Amino acid sequence: MSIYTSPFSSSFWRDARAEVGSMKKLTFAALMIALCVMLGYIPAVPLFGGARLTWGFLARSVCAWVCGPVLGAAFGVAEDLLSFFLTGGGGGPFFPGYTLTTVLGVVIYALFFYRQEITIRRIFFAKLLTNVQNVLLGALWSSILYGKAYLVIAGGSAVKNLIMLPFQTILLVAIFTAVTPVLGRMGLVPKQKGKLKW
């Protein structure tokens, strides 16, 4: 299984498109959808400044790592819709913008992780970018739905996402460290050179 230095190559995208026809990867994506739904029932951990640590990003990032950006995008749509309708969506209305946010988040993870050498730096920047897009798009969707000032919502959300970032990064490093040998032996991800480095 090839390891790419970046997602900006035709071979990367050819391999990513091929994952849609892999029964092994489709099965894995389905399992990750089920895991996301289950994680939705686990209570969020309150941090400080109003930030709350939820758990779905763990399964989304692993699915993106294994399945790539093309199958990962399809996973994002299915996971967001199923999670909303099975868990009640946290009491808010259904809005397709949030589905788009989920899809883009999975694609960002995939661009950093799929068929690439996993490092702590790569994990950090992938999570940073997903948090940035969560702030920008989340504030936009809230302003559309509830008529609140975009900059006010974005400012508050940015603070919360900044607070969550180190905790989320640590959790991702722990998960990737734990599952890398297993997924490598199963042929789902390329075998890594060693322990995660910066």
What's the pLDDT score for residue 84?
84
Cα gap 3→42, rounded to integer Å: 34
Residue pLDDT, tens place only, 62-105: 999 999 999 999 999 999 998 888 776 666 778 899 999 999 99
For the beta carbon of residue 130, count every other beta carbon within 10 angstroms.
26
pTM of the full structure: 0.92
What's the pLDDT score for residue 176?
93
Handedness of CA 174, 64, 9, 4 (dihedral sign): positive
Task: Choose among 167, 175, 136: nearest CA to 48.
Answer: 167
- Which residue would you say has higher pLDDT here, 56 or 94? 56
* CB 18 within 8 Å of CB 115: no
Helical pair 96-113 and 120-146, crossing angle rounded to 10 deg:
170
Domains in the chain, start-ordered, CATH in brackets?
Answer: 10-185 (1.10.1760.20)
The average confidence (pLDDT) of the chain is 90
pLDDT at 194 over 80: no
Residue pLDDT, tens place only, 95-140: 899 999 999 999 999 999 999 999 999 999 999 999 999 999 999 9
What number of residues does the chain have?
Answer: 198
* CB 118 within 8 Å of CB 75: no
What's the pLDDT score for residue 190?
84
**What would the mean pLDDT of 47-63 be, rounded to a whole number?**
90
What six digits make up the tokens of 114? Answer: 């799929």
